[in-house]
Structure formats: structure tokens, C-alpha cells
Amino acid sequence: MMLIRYLSQIGKYFLMWKEIFNKPTKWSVMKGLIFKEIDDLIIGSLGIVAFISFFVGGVVAIQTALNLTNPLIPKYLIGYATRQSIILEFAPTFISIIMAGKVGSFITSSIGTMRVTEQIDALEVMGVNSLNYLVFPKLIALLLYPFVIGISMFLGIFGGFIASVYGGFGNSSDFIDGLQIDFIPFHITYAFIKTLIFALLLATIPSFHGYFMKGGALEVGKASTVSFVWTSVTIILMNYILTQLLLT
């Protein structure tokens, strides 16, 4: 019975994708909605992403340095390990899970509140495709999400550099050598491909849970929690699939 319910939800999610692109809202209206979503979802997230990235980069560098106890192991490995950890996993995947909590909960609660207060019904009565009106601007805004992850990568590595050099674990030339050694440019491409897929999930899964929720104010909170869990699970699952497809 539960399996059928899950399959039904998955089917409804893919049907929602089709509906998002039907009967588009006038561009003069849509333009304002897109800029508002960019401000809320992208610009509003830069602070928390920058703060977390900088300090996690520092922690990665310190932990790597503390594990290099053998004097024969070169110090440049601190820079190498920091680069690989930040670019391959931390920036694209773990920042996306944090964003599922921040951005995803915001999307679910805002659309869920509109559902509870019958604003979505009012849009439908006026002949507006409510899914296009509500979800499409979020999709377009989150196409700028790789820009956020690019900043996260830079600040994570910079945080590692500061922690390594000013923490007395190595000098700047060793760290920079580690950043440059065995660098594979495709790793950056791989990270941004992942980021773009995660952006689409961050825009649509929370929107789905907000749009199709039933009940009152209490259910809005529950829907936000459920959307965070499912967005995180889907991101981790897609991370595994994309890593298997792109890196092996």
C-alpha cells in the first residue's frame, strides 16, 4: 500500500513538471517574479553559504594537517586534500543539503501558506496557470545556483589556505603547490553538472510538497519538514548516480 502511495506521488511529481511549462504567464509579470526569486533564493543565501564554506574549508585543512604525522609525507598534501574535498563533495553536495533546509523550507512554506489561504485557488479562478506562476520563476532563479557553488568552492579553499598558513601547519607555497598538483579540469565540470541537477531538485521537490499539501497552518510545518527530508534523500541518491556515471 505504501509502495503504491510513493509511486503515485512520483507520478504526480513528473506530471507537475509538464504542467509548469503549460500556458506561460505574461513575460511582463514573469520578469518581476524571477527577479524577486533571485533575490530571495540566491542573493539571500550567499551569507550563510560563504560563512559555512570558509570555516569548513579551514577545518578540512586542519584535520588533514593533523593526520600527516609522518615527516616523510609532503606538506603540499594539505592543499591537495582541501581542493579535492571542497570541489568534489563539500561545495556541490553538502551545501545543497544545507540549501534544502534553508531554501527548500522557504519554498514549501510560502507555497503551502498560499494553498492554505486559498490564494492558489484564486489564481486558478482568474485563469492563471498557478504552477507556472509559482514554480517556473524559482526554476529560472535556481539556474544561477552554480554561481553560489563557485563562491563556495573559492571560499572553502581560501579558508583552508588561511587555516593552514596562519595555523602554522605549512607555508603558502606548499599549499598552492598542493592546489595545482594532479589537477583534473573535468572535476570542476563534474561539480557544476551535479550542481545544476541539484538546483532543479531544490526548485521542484519543495514546490511539489507545498503545492499539493492539504490541511491548515500545522500541516505547512509538516510539509516543510517532509520536503527537506525528501530533497536531501534525492540529492544524496542523485549524487551517487552522477558520481558513478561521470567519474568511473
Q: Answer positive or negative: Cα dihedral of 141, 143, 120, 233.
A: negative
Provide the pLDDT for residue 14.
85
pLDDT of 236 strictly over 90: yes
Find, among 30, 40, 188, the residue nearest to 105 by Cα. Answer: 40
Would you call 170 helix, strand, or coil by DSSP? coil
Provide the pLDDT for residue 35.
92
Report the phi/psi class of residue 73: left, alpha or beta, with left for phi > 0 and alpha for psi in -120 to 50. beta
Whether residue 138 contacts residue 203, with contact meaning beta carbons closer than 8 Å, is answered with yes
- Average pLDDT (123-148) is 87
CA dist 195 and 95 (Å) reads 10
C-alpha cell belonging to residue 46: 550567499
At 41-98, the pLDDT tens digits run 899 889 999 999 999 999 998 988 888 777 777 888 888 888 989 998 888 999 999 9
Report the predicted TM-score, pTM, of the whole model to 2 decimal places: 0.89
Find, among 59, 237, 235, 86, the residue nearest to 164 by Cα. Answer: 59
Provide the pLDDT for residue 68.
79
Provide the pLDDT for residue 195.
93
pLDDT of 11 strictly over 90: no
Q: Where are the alpha helices (DSSP H) in 88-127?
A: 95-99, 105-116, 119-125
Please give the distance of CA 235 from its chain centroid, rounded to a whole number.
8
- Average pLDDT (161-173) is 85
